[in-house]
Structures are given as structure tokens and as C-alpha cells.
Amino acid sequence: MKFFFNLLKVLFSFSLVINLMSCVKNTQPNIVLIMVDDLNDYPEVFNGHPQAKTPNIKKLANSGTSFLNAYTNDPMCGPSRASMITGVYPHNSSNFWQDSWLKNKVLSNTKTIMEKFKENGYNVVGSGKILHHHSSNLWSEFEHKADYGPVAYKGNKEKGKKGMAHPDVPKPFSSIGQIDGSFGALKNISNLEMDGEKISWAYGGSAGYKEFQYNNEEDRDLTPDEINAKWAEDKLNEFASSDNEQPFFLAVGFLRPHTPLIAPQKYFDMYPIEDIQLANILENDKDDTFRNYDLNYKNLLIETEKKGSSPTHQQLTRRWIEMFENLEKSYDDPEEGLKRFTQAYLACVSAVDDNIGQVMNAIDNSRLKDNTIIILVSDHGWTMGEKDHVYKNSLWEESTRIPMIIRAPGVTKFKSKVTHPVSLIDIYPTLLGLAGLDTETKKNDNGKSLDGYSLVPFLKDPESEDWEGPEAALTVVYSSYANRNIPANHHYSVRTKDWRYIIYNSGKEELYHNAKDPKEWNNLVFNNSHPKRDEMVKILKQMTYPMIPNGLLKK
């Protein structure tokens, strides 16, 4: 009898262990990464524009933690995304511009977020624009590559299609091109011609021309962002209904509000042009700055042509000047262009908000809600006329600040807000921390360990003083092709909670007291020194050590 009693105890203990193991397996968190292209601080929670309508982003923010001072590490799509996904600062990899990270010695030998989670048993699936340079090898499954459509064309498929801006955009702004020179609502253009050639809509993916059918709002193809939202919704529903307990990492990338700022008419109707409020712009604000003058884009164009750089690079180096000047020249009233561009940007922000809502509903209305971590970020911001600048790729607040929201069930608290400066470099270690994974990301000695720090302390307590990361966010802007492999010869900025310091590779400096001057109108070191300057330089040196930005050596 005693033997059978002991046997029952052993069997009960074994059953308990099996059940505990099963519970541990089932609690491995799922992760959903939502990336939005060129989204600045306009969503409602971040207070970037008083008219922005983003109820779905607001709902997500209210259910988790918003980082009100989150920044990009490089305000261009390619290097920003490569840095975030590998966890390596641009100055530690020399990946500053739009060259493929896959050919970069450091980054190609460092595990991406996708590779790290896949090797730890996750089903890693994605669609849309996650990295600027895509590799299917990173994923268990990948669906749709980045598509900038709908875009406008003239001509026909047989004789050749030529890209053009939205037909409503006047010259000279439309001459910038099909992507950056284009904004406006979708409409039926089947009977329109330009230069004697028929105009049509098309998708804008890497596969080449594919017609986009549009008759009216009830009879049209889905936009690429709508396609990706539907893919994410379907995939999440599939995971929710499956008995497979394998955890998943799902990433979905939305293009808007990246140019061309083209969206369905209903989103433009949300922002009547006569009611549009422009950004709070100070006249002649650029006069105490050095971005437009320091880079000297005409000389840079000559240099890049000598070096054999691509036309894309030559065009982008002067884009911030072209876009603002041509907007003003394209309309009788100089403000009209900026108003119409702002309207289009806001329309695209609301369009992508609906796409995000579709993804969120699939999670919140299923069993996934209580075990799925959600991260929403943008790759960088966008200026809307401040300092005569309409673009990304500057070191000012509007270009560098991004929305960042994290919801981690059981960790984050409702409506919590973090004001400490953080950046995209911190996303990778945060996800590893939340998933309980180690932080080893080097494939070999050519790779680089994580540069960022886990944000979990802030997720638990927005006022935490236990964070091990720096007191500032670091951002770099590429200077020229000649300096592509010389980290010290680019332009750098550090942003603390209350201050921003910028050093250009010429030695020119800008210092702003953001706590009192949030729009960075007053460069405190334009003509004189300032006691805060040396403190900010010290922070910059610490964050870039052992490299010292070349501009500091010229002081």
C-alpha cells in the first residue's frame, strides 16, 4: 500500500512539473512591431499639431507607455532603420546614408532583431517597410515589400511609363518628382492627359509598374498601407485561432506619411484647406542656424558627381532647400503651398492611424491581448516649414523627434508618460529584456554589441531613476560622400530633457534651451558662448567615445 501511495506522489509531482513547463511555454510573450515612415510628433498624444485626428494611436498610447522625448539616431530612412534593427549607432558602423546595411561589415555581422528572435524559437513574420534594404533571409515569412504607391504616371505600359507628381500639383514643386514633389487626394484621372499622354495611377513597389485601379471611393484598389493592415489583421487572427503555442514576432511597416502624400479623399475632407493651421514658424528663424549654409549643397553635388555617387544621393542632398523654396514659388500666395502640403500630411497621418487601428483591433478583440507586446515607432520626424525646411535629415527637433509607444501586458501602466530622452537604439535591448532573452547579438568579431539600453525600468515606473542609459539622445546627420567612412566628419546632436546641442563638421554650433524655447528659435551660441555649452559637449564626447566629432577639434 505504501508503495502505491509513493508511486501516486511521484506521478502527481511529474504531472505538476509538466503543467508548470506548459505554463512557462505559454507565457512567452508575442511581439508586434508597428513602424510608420516619416511620422513626426503630430499624433494627438505628442501634441505636435492641434488639428491632428489620430484616435487609434491615442487609444494605444492610453493603454500603455508613451515616450514624449524619443528621438531617431539618424533622420534618414535607411540608416535609421538599420541602426534600430541591429542596435548599433551609425557612428559605430559607418552606416550613415542610404547605402545597403547588408554590405556593411559591422551590421551584416550583427544579428538583427528578427534573427535574434527567430533563433530563440519565435515565428518571425513581416510585411511592408521595415528595413530600407530588405532581406527575406531574416524572416520565417515575409509578404509585401515596400510600396510607395499610389503614384502617378503618364504614358502607357507598351511605350514606357514616366513617373510624375500628382496632376494637381503645380510647377516648380511638381518638378521635384513623383515621390517628394507629389501630394493630393486620390481621384479619377482616367480622362486626364498631360503633354498629350494619358495619366494613370500605379503601385510603386520594386517589382515595377502595376496599375492601381481607381474609379471612385467605393470602387478602387486597396492602397499598399491598407493591404499591409489587412495582412496583419489576417495573420493575427490566424495566430489567435491556432492551437500552436509558438510565440511570434510580427512586424508591419506603413509608408504614409512618407511622400508622395497621396491618400483617399475622405482623409483630406477631415482637414478643410481653409481651416489648416500652419506650424508655429518664426520669420527668418534660419538666420542663426548653419544647416543650409554649412552643408553647401552645390559643392556637395560637384563632389558626389566626381565620386560617382548615384543621382538619388545627389537629389536628396539638396531636397530640404528645394521643397521649401518650390512650395512658395508654386502658388500666388506663398503660404498656400505650405497649407496644402500640411493638409496632405495630416490626411496621410489620419489614414495610417486607421491602418494602425485595424491591427490593434485584431489584437484587442482576441486572446492575444494579454500576452502581446506592442511597439509603435517612426524612423524619424519631418519639418513643416520651420527654419525654411520641409524635409527630414536635419538635427532640429521636428526632424529628430519621433512618436514611441510601448504596451507590455503586466508591465506598463495605462496612460503613463516618460519624459526622459530615449532613442530608437533602445528598442532592441528593450524587447530582449521583455522577452527574457540574452543580449548577445554579435555573429562574430566583426559585429557589434548593443549600443542601447533596455527601457523596461521606464515601463515599470515612468519616473524611474534606475535606468542605466545616458541622459541624452544622440543623432547624426550625414555630411558627404567623401566622409562616408569617417565617423568624426559628420554632424552631431545631443538632446537632453531640457537642452539641444548641435555641432557641424565645420565647427559651427547651435544650442537651444528647449524647456523655454521648444521650437528652437534662439541659438544661444550664435554670437556668444554659453555656460551650458561645455556641459553638452562633455555629454556628446561621452556618447561617441572614443570618436570625437571633427567639428569639436576645429573650435
pLDDT digits (tens, 9 = 90+) for 237-280: 999 999 999 999 999 999 999 999 999 999 999 999 999 999 99
pTM more than 0.85:
yes
Beta-bridge partners for 35: 253, 377
Q: Which three cell numbers stand for residue 87?
A: 542596435
Q: Are residues 210 and 248 in the same domain?
A: no
CA distances from 274 to 58, 68, 152 (A): 26, 30, 26
Q: Are residues 96 and 154 in the same domain?
A: no
Q: How many domains does the chain have?
A: 2
Q: Are residues 406 and 327 in the same domain?
A: yes
User: Helices then strands (H, E): number in the chain?
Assistant: 16, 24
Domain boundary among 175, 203, 221: 221
Task: Please state, in angstroms and rounded to a whole number, the distance separating the CA atoms of residues 399 and 365.
Answer: 35
* Cα distance between the two ends of the chain: 90
Give the rounded distance of the alpha carbon of 128 from its chain centre: 13
Q: Which three cell numbers stand for residue 156?
A: 502607357
Determine which helix (DSSP H) or strand (DSSP E) holds 278, and give its type and residue range.
none
Determine which helix (DSSP H) or strand (DSSP E) holds 354, and give its type and residue range.
helix 334-364
Within 180-312, strands assigned E span 183-185, 193-194, 197-203, 210-211, 214-216, 219-220, 248-254, 261-263
Given this model, what pLDDT does residue 32 score? 98
Beta-bridge partners for 66: 405, 417
The angle, 0 to 180 degrees and rounded to 10, between the axes of the packed helices 334-364 and 224-241 is 10
Q: Which three cell numbers stand for residue 437?
A: 532573452
Give the CA angle between residues 457, 375, 459 to the nearest 5°: 15
Q: Which residues contact 184 (CB under 8 A, 6 or more apart)?
A: 166, 167, 168, 169, 261, 262, 268, 344
Spatial contact of 199 and 154, defined as CB atoms under 8 Å apart: yes
Q: Which residues contact 3 (CB under 8 A, 6 or more apart)?
A: none
Q: Which three cell numbers stand for residue 392?
A: 527630414
Which residue segment(s) compose the domain that 202 sits in? 150-221
CA distances from 489 to 77, 120, 309, 325, 334 (A): 20, 39, 18, 28, 36
Q: Are residues 298 and 169 in the same domain?
A: no
Q: Are residues 375 and 281 in the same domain?
A: yes
Q: Are residues 439 and 518 in the same domain?
A: yes
Q: Are residues 176 and 118 in the same domain?
A: no
Spatial contact of 291 and 387, defined as CB atoms under 8 Å apart: yes
Spatial contact of 41 and 57, defined as CB atoms under 8 Å apart: no
Given this model, what pLDDT does residue 302 score? 46
Give the CA angle between residues 161, 314, 71 to the nearest 5°: 105
Q: Are residues 237 and 335 in the same domain?
A: yes
Q: Which residues contact 8 (CB under 8 A, 6 or more apart)?
A: none
Strand 404-407 relative to strand 123-128, pairing: unpaired
Q: Are residues 384 and 504 in the same domain?
A: yes
How would you class 134 by CB atoms within 10 Å of its CB: exposed for 0-12, middle for 13-18, buried for 19 or more? middle
- Residue 546, Cβ neighbours under 10 Å: how many? 5
Residue 108: helix, strand or coil by DSSP?
helix
Per-residue pLDDT of the chain (555 residues; tens, 9 = 90+): 444 445 444 444 444 433 433 333 447 999 999 999 999 999 999 989 999 999 999 999 999 999 999 999 999 999 999 999 999 999 999 999 989 999 999 999 999 999 999 999 999 999 999 999 999 999 999 999 999 999 999 998 777 889 999 999 999 999 999 999 999 999 999 999 998 999 999 998 766 789 999 999 999 999 999 999 999 999 999 999 999 999 999 999 999 999 999 999 999 999 999 999 999 999 999 999 987 544 444 444 444 444 544 434 344 556 777 899 999 999 999 899 999 999 999 999 999 999 999 999 999 999 999 999 999 999 999 999 999 999 999 999 999 999 999 999 999 999 999 999 999 999 999 999 999 999 999 999 999 999 999 999 999 999 999 999 999 999 999 988 888 899 999 999 999 999 999 999 999 999 999 999 999 999 999 988 999 999 999 999 999 999 999 999 886
- Fill in the DSSP letter of residue 273: G
488, 475, 478: which is closest to 552 by C-alpha?
A: 488
Beta-bridge partners for 133: none
Q: Are residues 191 and 323 in the same domain?
A: no
**Sequence letter at residue 229:** A
Residue 511: helix, strand or coil by DSSP?
strand
Three-state secondary structure of 147-185: ECCCEEEEEECCCEEEEECCCCCCCCHHHHCCCCCCEEE
Domain boundary among 166, 193, 221: 221
- Residue 22, Cβ neighbours under 10 Å: how many? 11
Spatial contact of 375 and 454, defined as CB atoms under 8 Å apart: no
Phi, psi of 394, rounded to the nearest 5 degrees: -130, 170
Q: Are residues 243 and 209 in the same domain?
A: no
Domain boundary among 200, 221, 242: 221
Determine which helix (DSSP H) or strand (DSSP E) holds 406, and give its type and residue range.
strand 404-407
Give the rounded distance of the alpha carbon of 543 from its chain centre: 22
Q: Which residue bears the cell 548593443?
A: 450
The CATH number of the domain holding residue 260 is: 3.40.720.10
Task: Please state, in angstroms and rounded to a whole number, the distance separating the CA atoms of residues 455 and 434.
Answer: 9
Q: Are residues 417 and 464 in the same domain?
A: yes
